[in-house]
Each structure stands twice: as structure tokens, then as C-alpha cells.
Amino acid sequence: MLIAQITPEAGSAAAGSSTLWELALKGGPMMIPIALCSLVALAVVLERLLTLRTRAVIPPSFMPGLKKILREHPGDRERALAYCAKSRSPIARICAAAIERPGRSLETIEKRITEAGEHEILRLRKYLRSLSVIAAVSPLLGLTGTIFGMIRAFQTVAFNADAMGKTEQLATGIYEAMVTTAAGLLVAIPALIFYNLIAARIDRLVAQMDRASIAFAEDFYESQQQGSSQRPVAVASAFLAGEDDGLASAEVS
């Protein structure tokens, strides 16, 4: 429609019969990197949307199950680590990092959770920088293609004596050259929108993981304290049980 309005006489018939594929072909060689950028952006968006689902990052049943293990089996790190290994989620890896190397103080546990959390945040932001690069580079590629196309259009008019005074030929070359700019913007605008949407989702997930990890640190510290207090009692009970068996065997003899 816009092309038909710009060249109402000679260009209207050609514009009306041009399909999207034909316009893409008229864009020239610069349409190839723009097309590659669109494919990469689409792959990144789909992969991040699938990976950054709330159920995949913070499964609803994970934290209640881990709290139950810490409450029923205090000090049993092997059982807790096995439970975390089954989840394979970012919050599970954060909790497992604290369980593998337990600290004697709450500050030590929180420090190890913070270190693991920073690593998981980097994993959540995976491929996100490439999306921002595509959003910035695609319009530049389109502008470059338009400049080369306009150079070719003016060169054709300059070296063709029959084209002097025929603005429709120049207009046709210009609108074909503008195809790359339009294509670059059509790739950059969705890429920029999805970049900000995905970044906002990551920030929301990070805040949720932060709250969950703080609650876990307190529960894990209490579980350690209970496990350490129950261990001497269990040793003393075993010792007393052994003495009772020795006395009983002595009386029988």
C-alpha cells in the first residue's frame, strides 16, 4: 500500500504484484545476514521462554519436600543431596551447594548460597546478550543494504541516458533499496521487546529464588543444630545399650 502511494503510476502495478518473498529477493545480499539474525533471535526467544518457566526454575513441590527431609532427618546430608539431584532445577543446585559444604554459622551458609546463586543467575541470562546484539545490529545491516541499493539506483540513472527525467525508474530503485531497512527493523523491534520481557522474567525469578534460599538457609542451619545435638545422645544410647548387653551376658555366665 505504501509503495503504491509513493509510485502511483509506474510502480503501482509492480508493487501490487510483488510478494513478500519477491521483496526479500530485491533487498540484495544484505538480506542474508538479516535473515540469519531473525533465525537466531527466534531460537533464543523460544529456548529462553521454555527454560525460564517458573515450574522449571522453582518447582512448587521442591522446597516443601526439602523442608520435610530436613525436619524428619536432621543432619542427613546424603538424603537431602539425593533429593536435590532429582530436581535438576536452579533452586535445587543452589540448595545442594550449601548442603555439600555445610558451614558452622548461618553467615557461612548464606555466603555459599549467594555464590551458587550468582552462578545460576549467569545461567538464567544465557544467550540474552546475543538477543540484545541482534536488536542493535539488525537496523544497521538494513541501513547498510539501503545505502548500497540507493548507490546502485543513482548509478543506474547517472550512466543511463534514457533514464534522465524518468523519476519512476529512480523511485523503483529506491523502494527496492528500502526493503533491507524495513527487514532490519522488523527483526530488531521484536528482538528488543522480547529481550526486555525475558530480562524482566529473570529479575522476577531471581527475587523468588532469593526469598526461597533465605528461608532454606535458616531451615538448614536449624537442621544442622538439631543433628549435632542428637548425635551425642545417639552415641550415649548405643554405649549404654552395649553396657547393658555386657552385664546381661556376665549374669548369665
User: pLDDT means per 10 residues in the chain (253 residues)?
Assistant: 38 51 77 93 94 91 89 82 89 88 76 90 91 95 89 74 62 78 94 96 93 86 66 42 46 46
Residue 188: the pLDDT is 96
Looking at residue 218, its pLDDT comes to: 82
CB 37 within 8 A of CB 137: yes
pLDDT of residue 250: 45
**Residue 26's pLDDT is what?**
75
Q: How far are the Cα atoms of 150, 235, 249, 250 from residue 246, in angstroms, in the given order? A: 102, 17, 5, 6
Please report the pLDDT score of residue 240 as a whole number.
41
Q: Is the pTM of this model over 0.85?
A: no
State how many domains the chain has: 1
- According to the model, what pLDDT value does residue 221 have? 79
- Residue range(s) defining the domain that contains residue 229: 1-253
pLDDT at 8: 41
Q: How many whole angstroms separate alpha carbon 179 and alpha carbon 23? A: 7
Please say whether the beta carbons of 117 and 210 come within 8 A.
yes
The DSSP output letter for 162 is G
Amino acid at site 66? L
The residue with cell 551458609 is 109
Question: For residue 147, what is its C-alpha cell?
Answer: 545505502
